[in-house]
Amino acid sequence: MDDLVAFARLVEALAPWRGEIIIVGGWAHRLHRLDSRATVPPHAPLVTRDVDIGFSLARRTRGSIRHALLKAGFVEELTGEHVPPVSHYSLGVDGGGFYAEFLAPLTGSGARRDGSSDATETRAGVTVQKLRHLDLLLTAPWTIRLSGSVGVPVAAPVDLLVANPVSFMSQKLLIRGERDSRKQAQDVLYIHDTLELFGASLPALRSSWRNVLRGTLSRRNAEAVERVCVDAFAEANDAIRRAARLPVDRRLDPESLRAACAYGLGEIFGR
């Protein structure tokens, strides 16, 4: 099954919750191409089969997302040792590995009063995984319109909330130290390609960081974002070299990739 067909089915199944859910992972980056401010390059976007769906646990979610997904033909898969277990919703073997998972911000110590891990919670029938710094991805989302004319075969045009590009990049900078080498390289490429998409809008992205997003973070985390964007791209390191080798439809020079990221991030996050 084409992943855009699968994605359209997911979006339509989640119609009652579109005002609450925000696409926050690799699919957010892919959907950024549909924004009018994007300058879309000739190469293909980075593609991931899993859709990360974020929402806040601070608001009450009505109805059963689980029931809606099962009714739409998704298959529930429970994994891991957490209580409740992590849930993925796939389209089975015909879905080609496409699946959705639900995420929410982790606050506090990460442990419950009884000492068990506070990594998951059941909400609207699905298991939500709790992650540090996810709240940044839920702040000031953009609205992206989906329709058949832009390649997403929904029955009627749909407005979907998507993590904005500055949140997307700053969260990756903030979690850089927690990522393994493969994920670090992938994140470098995501940052490079996001800057490529919105290179004509750097002043607006800077304003978003300075006037909206920075103030939602602790001083420590805001300064960490601004420091990492310099330190991570000061020279062509292993993560950058691996990132340059990831695309199969274009050739990237590690030093050019590094310089582009250093410049773009400096324009957005520099003091």
Residue 156: what pLDDT?
Answer: 95
HSE-CB at 257 with a 13 A cutoff on CA atoms is 28
Residue 113: what pLDDT?
Answer: 67
* Residues 38/42/48/50 CA torsion (nearest 10 deg): 40
For 55-71, what is each residue's pLDDT tens digit?
Answer: 998 888 889 999 999 99
Tell me how far apart the terminal alpha carbons of the chain are, to the nearest angstrom: 46
pLDDT at 90 over 90: yes
Contact 173, 232 (CB under 8 A): yes
Beta strands per DSSP E along 55-155: 75-79, 86-90, 99-105, 120-123, 126-131, 142-146
The mean pLDDT of the chain is 93
Residue 4: what pLDDT?
Answer: 93
pLDDT band at 109 (very low <50, low <70, confident <90, very high): low
Residue 246: what pLDDT?
Answer: 96
- Token pair 């995501």 is at which residue? 190
d(CA 249, CA 216) in angstroms, rounded, equals 38
* DSSP symbol at 209: I
What share of the chain in percent tops pLDDT 70? 95
- 126-148: average pLDDT: 95
Residue 112 in tokens = 């419950």
- 72-80: average pLDDT: 91
Residues found in the chain: 271
d(CA 198, CA 192) in angstroms, rounded, equals 10
d(CA 163, CA 27) in angstroms, rounded, equals 10
Nearest residue to 63 (alpha-carbon basis) of 98, 101, 21: 21
Q: Please state, as a whole number, how many other Cβ atoms lie within 10 Å of the Cβ of residue 178.
A: 11
- Residue 242: strand, helix, or coil: helix
Nearest residue to 192 (alpha-carbon basis) of 217, 168, 222, 164: 168
